[in-house]
Amino acid sequence: MKTVISTFAVLFAATTLKATPTVSGVSVTEAADKTIEVSYTLSEKAIITVDFQLGGVSIGEEKFADLAGDVNRVVNAGSCKIFWNPAYVPSLNGTNGNFTAVVKAWTLASPPDYMVWTMDENMPGRSIRFYTSTNALPDGGLSNDVYSRYRLVMKRIHAAGIEWRMGTTGTQRAYTGGDQLRQWPHYVRLTKDYYMSIYNLTQRQVRNVIGWPRNPSPYNNNDQAATESYPHNNIAFTEIRGSTDGLLWPALSESETYAHKVDSGSLIAALRERSGISTIDLPTRAQFEFAQRAGRGTLYYNGSDTVTADMSNTTFAWVDASGPQAVGKLPPNDYGLYDMNGNLLTWALDINWRSTGRLNNALEIDPRGTDAATGERSLVGGFYSGTLTGCAYCGYATSLGATTGTSAISGVRVVCDVDMTADLGGL
């Protein structure tokens, strides 16, 4: 027997020019075994999330992270159900309607802030889930190594339409004696939000996806199990995107689709094929730096603009270390991204270039870098054996950037478009 606890007609999706999905007929019942069942009707295909509330206040997403049914994914129109087994709540009977389920529909064009892809090598097909925060992640959340080994967690970066200053700060230029480490400051506007992986891809994640029979990292100590959550390093740009189509970026005279082509057998190709997300790629330098600074105008995402030669005791960046460290062990920046300063340099799409000729007031829209055939690609973010100054790299102009070169200090972080209409609309 089920007891009806409450009804709640709920929410609408983000604004879109297409049909806006709506939720109606929400009802919450409790079975004899205390299982909660939420029934609702969805007008159009949408991504669904839910919040359980008492007296209009959320009980906390971490308390109902393990949900089943038509929730946290793309759901087709029609009659739908969500299931929750609140083992730690003795009973919700007698709450006199104060307990409600707030069901929200999101358009595929504007999904929630977190997208999680299950990348278990033994799981066929794809499993894409969406969450409003990391508190809503099941299985204990990010404290569980499953998220650095068998899931790819991506955070939505709300960048569309924001004008910001990209490039080195005066403090850093004074310290480095020029712009050796970063490009000359200029204004940038990105036209779209994007998802970015909260971690660098780890050794286990890369092995799950590409199936390479070896781990090129020199720091696995012949013990892959012990370092599966360490960032995958010692990987060449040509292994990531390929040596033919993969080198087309930025193809300034060609279409965006053409520039994003990669070679079959590359890591990006494997990620796209396995996930079904066709826009996965390396970040541009502008995408990386916007996310790295996390909305701050200072050199470092923690609000500091101070540069010193020795900051080995810093709590926000792996520097002056003997080797790479497991991902996610230091606090994230304000955008929820980990190790954006230090640990490993990250490959970017842009061909490396220096912009000393730019004026401070020059505005660029979605900068793609130069198309000069320098043979070097940009590396961003700093590395474990460097200094804190180096953690703010926005370009690394040495032979390390050669497309076929590998190094223990370089790794991979990926981005993709936020609009999932084309990739997930057929689910």
Considering only CA atoms, give the Rg of the chain.
23
Mean pLDDT rounded to a whole number for the chain: 81
Q: What is the mean pLDDT of residues 78-105?
A: 79
Q: What percent of the chain has pLDDT over 70?
A: 71
pLDDT score, position 218: 57
Residues 195-239: tens digit of each pLDDT: 999 999 999 999 888 876 555 565 655 566 678 899 998 888 889
Residue 297 has pLDDT above 80, yes or no: no
Q: What does the pLDDT read at residue 177?
A: 45
- Domain locations in the chain as residue ranges: 2-106, 114-424
Q: Above pLDDT 90, what percent of the chain?
A: 43
pTM for the full model? 0.89
Q: Does domain 2-106 have CATH number 3.80.10?
A: no
Choice among 135-139, 185-189, 281-285, 403-407 with the minimum mean pLDDT: 403-407
Average the pLDDT over 394-414 and give the result.
Answer: 67
Mean pLDDT of 86-115: 80
Distances (CA, A) of 9 to 26, 48, 49, 85, 267: 5, 14, 14, 22, 44
pLDDT of res. 50 = 97
Mean pLDDT over 325-329 rounds to 90
Residue in this structure with the two tokens 């320098």, named with its chain if needed: 374
Residue by residue, what is the 3-state secondary structure of the chain?
Answer: CEEEEEECCCCECCCCCCCCCEEEEEEEEEECCCCEEEEEEECCCEEEEEEEEECCEECCHHHHCCEEECCCCEECCEEEEEEECCCCCCCCCCCCCCEEEEEEEECCCCCCCEEEEECCCCCCCCCEEEECCHHHCCCCHHHCCHHHHCEEEEEEECCCCCEEEECCCHHHHHHHCCCCCCCCCEEEECCCCEEEECCCCEHHHHHHHHCCCCCCCCCCCCCHHHHCCCECCCCCHHHHHCCCHHHCCCCCCCCHHHHCCCCCCCHHHHHHHHHCCCCCECCCHHHHHHHHHCCCCCCCCCCCCCCCCCCCCCCCCECCCCCCCCCCCCCCCCCCCCCCCECCEEEEEEECCCCCCCCCCCEEECCCCECCCCCEEEEECCCCCCCCHHHHCCCCCCHHHECCCCCCCEECCCEEECCCHHHHCCC
- Structure token digits, residue 327: 């991902």
Q: What architecture (CATH level 2) is domain 114-424?
A: Alpha-Beta Complex (3.90)
Per residue in 335-381, pLDDT (tens digit) is 999 998 888 888 999 887 655 445 556 688 998 877 766 567 888 88
Query: Would the pLDDT of 402 be above 80?
Result: no
Residues 120-179: tens digit of each pLDDT: 766 555 789 999 999 999 999 999 999 999 999 999 999 999 998 887 665 555 544 444
| pLDDT value for 419 | 97
Ramachandran category for residue 118: left, alpha or beta (phi over 0 → left; psi -120 to 50 → alpha): beta
pLDDT surpassing 90 at residue 315: no
Cα–Cα distances in Å, from 326 out to 33, 58, 143? 41, 33, 12
Q: How much is the average pLDDT of 3-8? A: 54
